[in-house]
Amino acid sequence: MTKYLPTIIELHKTVTELRKSEELLDGIPDWMQELHQEHSARKAEIDELEEAIAEATQERRGTEGEINEIREKVKQYQEQISLVRNQREYGALLQEIDGAKEQIKGLEEQALAAMERQEEAESKLGEERQGFEDLDARYAVELEKWEAQKPQVAEEAERLRGRIEVLRERLPKPIQGQYERISARYGGEALALVVKIERGGRGANMWHCGACNYRVRPQAVVQIQDHGTLEFCDTCKRILYLDEAAD
Ligand SMILES: [Zn+2]
């Protein structure tokens, strides 16, 4: 009988390693994680300030535009004063002018507040940028170092892919399929370690599935031990394996 379990265990290890390599290639290595996070956080702060400046500037401009429009209206009202024919029309015009002036006052306050916000953000941005320069330079150096390491990681990933192909070919198609299905169901974790239940030397040995804790039949353990056959957990259906180092 061909022992497929060792091949599946190696396949599983290799697939896991490949996944780590691929994740690494898409991301940032551990040794520059801290700097990366600091860099991202500071970068986000700068972006936020730039956004706040843009927003305040837009608000100020919009408000100033509104003020100009209302001023034009006031000018028109004032021109109309010489044309009024009676007290009622005069009073109505004055009321319009007062209302418009009141509106202008409110808008001017709004524009001033927006300008203050803009200036405050600009001054903060200046400070942030100064501090960021040094961090950004350090980050660029580490990034370059990581870029230089990447080909080696990519090469290792390629080697792992080759090894996976070899291991897959050693397995009959139905077993390959079975492994893939269980793996897909458990996010790549198709295997479960069989764990011996410590009973302090009393009674016969008992085992449970390291993934779902359900009891494993002693017969299955013997099969794995003696023949390296594929045994599945009765509950979660993962492929069971034994810790070689344990007795
Ligand atoms: Zn299980």
23-46 pLDDT, tens digit per residue, is 999 999 999 999 999 999 999 999
Q: How far is the CA of 216 from the centre of ligand 1 (A)?
A: 8
**What is residue 56's predicted lDDT score, i.e. its pLDDT?**
96
Can you tell me the distance from the alpha carbon of 213 to that of 192, in angstroms, rounded to the nearest whole number?
A: 10
Q: How far is the CA of 79 from the centre of ligand 1 (A)?
A: 90
Strand, coil or helix: 191: strand
Q: Are strands 206-209 and 191-197 parallel, antiparallel or unpaired?
A: antiparallel
**What is residue 205's predicted lDDT score, i.e. its pLDDT?**
81
At 142, the pLDDT band (50, 70, 90 cuts) reads very high
Q: Convert the pLDDT of each residue in 180-235 to its tens digit.
A: 999 999 999 999 999 988 777 677 788 999 999 999 999 999 999 888 889 999 99
- List the shell of residues around ion ligand 1, using CB closer than 5 Å: 209, 211-212, 233, 235-236
Q: What is the CATH number of domain 17-170?
A: 1.10.287.1490
Q: Convert the pLDDT of each residue in 40-83 to its tens digit.
A: 999 999 999 999 999 999 999 999 999 999 999 999 999 998 88
Can you tell me the distance from the alpha carbon of 64 to that of 233, in angstroms, rounded to the nearest whole number?
A: 73
Q: Helix 87-170 to helix 5-26 angle, to the nearest 10 degrees?
A: 150
Domain boundaries, the chain: 17-170, 177-242
DSSP secondary-structure letter at 31? G
**What is residue 25's predicted lDDT score, i.e. its pLDDT?**
94
What are the angstrom distances between the C-alpha of 161 and each of 6, 11, 74, 165, 205?
Answer: 18, 10, 77, 6, 40
At 1, the pLDDT band (50, 70, 90 cuts) reads low
Tokens of 110: 């709004």
Tokens of 192: 């479960």
Which of 6, 12, 8 has its CA nearest to residue 175? Answer: 8
Tokens of 232: 């599945």
In this structure, the chain runs to a length of: 247
Can you tell me the distance from the alpha carbon of 146 to that of 70, in angstroms, rounded to the nearest whole number?
A: 59
Buried b (16+ CB within 10 A) or exposed e, 65-78: eebeebeebbeebe
Can you tell me the distance from the alpha carbon of 198 to that of 101, in angstroms, rounded to the nearest whole number?
A: 87
Say yes or no to pLDDT of 137 above 80. yes
Tokens of 40: 């991202």
At 147, the pLDDT band (50, 70, 90 cuts) reads very high
Is residue 111 within 8 A of residue 63, CB to CB? The reply is yes
At 3, the pLDDT band (50, 70, 90 cuts) reads confident
Contact partners, residue 152, CB within 8 Å, separation at least 6: none
Q: How far is the CA of 19 from the centre of ligand 1 (A)?
A: 23
Strand, coil or helix: 93: helix
Residues 82-87, mean pLDDT to the nearest whole number: 90
Say yes or no to pLDDT of 136 above 80. yes
**What is residue 127's predicted lDDT score, i.e. its pLDDT?**
93
Q: How far is the CA of 60 from the centre of ligand 1 (A)?
A: 64
Say yes or no to pLDDT of 247 above 60. no
- Mean pLDDT (the chain, rounded): 93
Residues 113-134, mean pLDDT to the nearest whole number: 94
Tokens of 57: 């500037």
Buried b (16+ CB within 10 A) or exposed e, 199-234: eeeeeeeebbbbbeeeebeeebbebbeeebbbbbbe
At 245, the pLDDT band (50, 70, 90 cuts) reads low
Strand, coil or helix: 84: coil
Q: How far is the CA of 218 from the centre of ligand 1 (A)?
A: 14
Q: How far is the CA of 240 from the centre of ligand 1 (A)?
A: 8
Residues 170-176, mean pLDDT to the nearest whole number: 94
